[in-house]
Every structure is written in structure tokens, then in C-alpha cells.
A = this chain, B = another copy of it.
């Protein structure tokens, strides 16, 4: 593998960081919509974990001599557009979005990070390997849809829409910057768009597993 330019590392970390920051904001908004205190605390915890990841990436960027805010700035528009297009209408939609979206973001950046140098790859893998509270919310969703076929049908449709929008958003982020497009297609001689297709197939398969965990049909 050729050397990944510094710019690509900074872009990847900047995009990842802003995804976590906006994920924090979305989860806090879900917590605010949630009437049950136990679930409210669970969603707030997951949001706070996301913010910690944003801060961890910020520290990493500074270690690399880059500015945290400048690194995030190019990705604000596409990430915000994702959230604008997927405004949940209640806390259940919010939390399904958080769970599904967080899973896709983690899978996507983990895949992208395999093209980085070993030290940065390890940093991203270690950070995204933390469960981050996502599993705790599965229980809340399962309990809310138990025995309610109409509600679970509605949420399954919603999750499918989130999946589509999240894939679209991650692709938008990747083509936002030439450096990330190069990362996405591997940046190596002989790499091609088939590999990109296979990557999204893997992300899609992982999504199906998460939907089963929630008790929703994918």
C-alpha cells in the first residue's frame, strides 16, 4: 500500500469527529423527547460517549498538528443534511435512527481506516471498537415494540430509510474531498469500484444483523 497523504488522515478524522459531534446532538435531542427517565438516561449516556469520541479525535488531530475545528468544517454541510432529512417524529424513531446510524458510521469509518497507516488505523479501530452505549438501547426498543406489530412495522420502514440516507451521507462525505475519494477506492494501483461495492455490501450485512437485534425486519 502506498503512503496515505497527511491530508487524507486529517480529512478522515475530521469527518469522523463531526459525525460524532452531530450524533451527540441528535441523541441529546432524543433524550429530551423521551418521557421515561430510564431510557432518557440511556440515550444521554450514548450521546455523551459520542461526544467523548469527538474529543478523542480532536486530541489525535492536534497530535498530528492539525486544528480540530478546521478539520471538521468541510463535512458540516453533508452531515447536517443527513440529520435534516431524517428528523425523527418521536423518541422511538430517534433512537432507532441513533442505533442504525451509529452502526453504519462505525462500520464505514472502520472500513475507511483500513487504508490508513497502522498507527492511525489502530487509533480509529480502538476508538470505534468501544461499545459506546449502543447496546443498552436495544433493550428499550425491544420493550417498546413488543407485541405491537403496527409500531414495529413502522419502525422497520423508518430504519430502512435511515439506512438509505446514511449510506448516501457517508458516500457524500467521501466524495466531498479528493483525498477521501482516493481512500475509499483504496488508493492503490489495481483497486477499483468493485471493492467499494463490496464494502457497502459488508456494511449492509452488518445492518441486517443490527435490525435483528432490535427485533425489526431488515
Q: Chain A residues in contact with chain B, CB under 8 A?
A: 21-22, 24-25, 28-29, 31-32, 37-38, 40-41, 44-45, 47-48, 51-52, 54-55, 58, 68-69, 72-73, 76
Contact = CB atoms under 8 A, between A and B. Distances in A.
The 5 closest A-B pairs by CB, nearest first: A28-B28, A37-B69, A25-B32, A48-B51, A48-B48
B32 A44 contact: no
Question: Mostly helix, strand, loop or mixed at chain A's interface?
Answer: helix
Contacts of A45: 51, 55
Contact of A25 (B28, B58, B72): B28
A41 B69 contact: yes
Given A24-B31, A41-B54, 12 more contacts: A25-B28, A25-B29, A25-B31, A25-B44, A28-B29, A29-B32, A37-B72, A37-B73, A38-B69, A41-B68, A48-B48, A48-B51
A58 B41 CA distance: 10
Contact of A51 (B29, B44, B72, B73): B44
A44 B69 contact: no
A55 B45 CA distance: 9
Contacts of A31: 24-25
7 contacts: A21-B41, A25-B44, A28-B29, A28-B47, A29-B32, A37-B68, A48-B48
A107 B137 CA distance: 35
Contacts of A47: 28
Contacts of A52: 48
Contacts of A76: 37
A73 B73 CA distance: 40
A24 B44 contact: yes
Contacts of A51: 44-45, 48
A31 B54 CA distance: 14
Nearest to A34: B25
Contacts of A28: 24-25, 28-29, 32, 47
